[in-house]
């Protein structure tokens, strides 16, 4: 059978790419990437490409990945590919959405324009939209869609924890926490966070009674882990019965995963947007639904 759609994966996104292709009932090809000793990448495309490529790759560690994406997309177009959909469950460079100090580059729109020049559509999950409301304000592609994993996260919590208290660590998390809690009529709160540096944050918990409660901290991203670490400590001091953490995107840089586990948290869970041993919530169904919804557009 000749397929008009083909999922293209990368070595580290093999599992997610194959699951997406299965959900879309189309073939999947995982690209061969060779890294030369000097750090350059050689990308090898398959000999036969479908008309519509669905490239599946989260853009954590983005600097190398963006160059490989550029090579892949440009070569695919040269080989007659007519439509490219980028499925990047985690999207990079969205946090620098304003200039905070003179001369600082506002990278979200620049990287957004780079992506829009390569692909026709971008699909992501829980994009970090803070000072902008919609993803297309950063990525001027034909379609730029940020899906919410909120319903999946909410179902996951509701199935595992009786009467949880859902807590967001900062004002930016309110959008996710509120959606999760309201969907399942769960109690929730949002803490106040001050970021003093890349690896230094201060958290002030909302004034709630935590004694004996099963608290689930929910955030879009865990990176250095400082946000979650600084929220876990006062919750323990306030007598929470258990503390679990659930994130959409498990970046877990440096030794953050070990440090969080050492606090004695009951569980650390994530979606499979980025491969990590905390992955507990597959996104393939959600992502495939969005690809198919765009297919007719
Ligand atoms: C920031 O506003 C995000 O929502 C996350 O809270 C943040 O990126 C987590 O970073 P880290 O793990 O380094 O504290």
The 3-class secondary structure across the chain, one letter per residue, is: CCCCEEEEECHHHHHHHHHHHHHHCCCEEECEEEECCCCCEEEECCCCCCCEEEEECCCCCHHHHHHHHHHHHHHHHHCCCCEEEEECCCCCCCCCCCCCCCCCCCHHHHHHHHHHHHCCEEEEECCCCCCCCCHHHCCCCCEEEEECCHHHHHHHHHHHCCCEEEEECCHHHHHHHHHHHHHCCCEEEECEEEEEECCEEEEECCCCCCCCCEEEEEEEEECCCHHHHHHHHHHHHCCCCEEEEEEEEECCCCCHHHHHHHCCCCEEEEECCCCCCCEEECCHHHHHHHHHHHHCC
Residue 46 has pLDDT above 50, yes or no: yes
User: Does 220 contact ligand 1 (Cβ within 6 A)?
Assistant: yes
Cα(100)–Cα(102) distance, rounded to whole angstroms? 7
Higher pLDDT, residue 44 or 129 = 44
Cα(240)–Cα(76) distance, rounded to whole angstroms? 53
Cα(194)–Cα(257) distance, rounded to whole angstroms? 22
Q: Output the pLDDT for position 155.
A: 96
Spatial strand order in the sheet of 5-9: 28-30, 5-9, 52-56, 83-87, 121-125, 143-147
* Confidence class for position 96, pLDDT limits 50, 70, 90: very high
User: Does 221 contact ligand 1 (Cβ within 6 A)?
Assistant: yes
Residue 206 has pLDDT above 70, yes or no: yes
Instruction: State in Å: Cα 277 to ligand 1 middle.
Output: 19
Residue nearest atom 13 in ligand 1 by C-alpha distance: 224
Which atom of ligand 1 is nearest the CA belonging to 223? 12
Q: What is the pLDDT of residues 131-150, one digit of tens each?
A: 899 999 999 999 999 999 99
Report the Cα–Cα distance between both ends of the chain, in Å, rounded.
24
**CB-based contacts of 273, cutoff 8 Å, min separation 6:** 16, 58, 89, 90, 125, 248, 249, 250, 283
Average pLDDT, whole number, for the chain? Answer: 96
User: Does 112 contact ligand 1 (Cβ within 6 A)?
Assistant: no
Which atom of ligand 1 is nearest the CA belonging to 170? 6
Q: Output the pLDDT for position 295.
A: 86
Instruction: State in Å: Cα 37 to ligand 1 middle.
Output: 33
Instruction: State in Å: Cα 297 to ligand 1 middle.
Output: 35
Q: Output the pLDDT for position 175.
A: 87
Residue nearest atom 8 in ligand 1 by C-alpha distance: 221
User: Does 217 contact ligand 1 (Cβ within 6 A)?
Assistant: no
Residue nearest atom 2 in ligand 1 by C-alpha distance: 172
What would you measure as the largest C-alpha separation in the chain, in angstroms?
Answer: 62
What the block records as the tokens of 127 is: 């994009």
User: Does 9 contact ligand 1 (Cβ within 6 A)?
Assistant: no
User: Does 223 contact ligand 1 (Cβ within 6 A)?
Assistant: yes
What the block records as the tokens of 21 is: 């292709």
Residue 1 has pLDDT above 90, yes or no: no
**CB-based contacts of 170, cutoff 8 Å, min separation 6:** 190, 191, 192, 193, 203, 219, 227
In this prediction, residues 115-129 reach a mean pLDDT of 96
Q: What is the pLDDT of residues 240-276, one digit of tens each?
A: 999 999 999 999 999 999 999 999 999 999 999 999 9
Instruction: Spell out the domains of the chain, with CATH numbers in brackets.
Output: 5-147 (3.40.50.2020), 150-280 (3.40.50.2020)
Instruction: State in Å: Cα 223 to ligand 1 middle.
Output: 6
In this prediction, residues 40-56 reach a mean pLDDT of 97
In this prediction, residues 191-208 reach a mean pLDDT of 96
Q: Output the pLDDT for position 130.
A: 83
pTM over 0.75: yes
Rg (CA), the chain: 20
**CB-based contacts of 3, cutoff 8 Å, min separation 6:** 26, 27, 50
Residue 2 has pLDDT above 60, yes or no: no
Q: Output the pLDDT for position 182.
A: 86
């Amino acid at each position: 059978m000749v397929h008009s759609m083909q999922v293209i994966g990368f070595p580290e996104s093999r599992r997610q790419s194959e699951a997406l292709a299965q959900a879309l009932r189309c073939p999947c090809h995982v690209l061969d990437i060779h890294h030369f000793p000097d750090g350059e990448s050689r990308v090898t495309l398959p000999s036969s490409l479908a008309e519509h490529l669905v490239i599946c790759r989260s853009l954590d560690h983005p600097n190398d990945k963006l160059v490989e994406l550029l090579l892949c997309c440009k070569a695919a177009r040269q080989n007659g590919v007519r439509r490219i959909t980028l499925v990047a469950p985690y999207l990079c460079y969205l946090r620098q959405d304003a200039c905070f100090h003179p001369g600082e580059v506002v990278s979200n729109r620049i990287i957004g324009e780079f992506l829009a020049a390569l692909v026709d559509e971008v699909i992501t999950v829980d994009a970090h939209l803070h000072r902008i409301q919609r993803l297309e304000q950063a990525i001027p592609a034909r379609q730029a869609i940020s899906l919410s994993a909120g319903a999946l996260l909410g179902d996951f919590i509701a199935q595992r924890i009786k009467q949880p208290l859902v807590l967001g660590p900062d004002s930016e998390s309110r959008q996710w926490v509120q959606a999760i809690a309201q969907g399942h009529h769960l109690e929730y709160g949002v803490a106040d966070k001050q970021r003093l540096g890349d690896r230094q944050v201060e958290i002030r918990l909302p004034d709630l009674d935590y004694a004996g409660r099963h608290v689930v901290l929910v955030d879009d991203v865990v990176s250095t882990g400082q946000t979650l670490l600084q929220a876990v400590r006062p919750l323990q001091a306030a007598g929470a019965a258990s503390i679990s953490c659930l994130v959409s995107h498990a970046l877990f840089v440096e030794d953050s995963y070990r440090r969080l586990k050492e606090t004695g948290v009951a569980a650390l869970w994530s979606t499979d947007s980025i491969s990590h041993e905390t992955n507990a919530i597959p996104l393939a169904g959600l992502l495939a639904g969005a690809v198919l919804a765009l297919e007719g557009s």
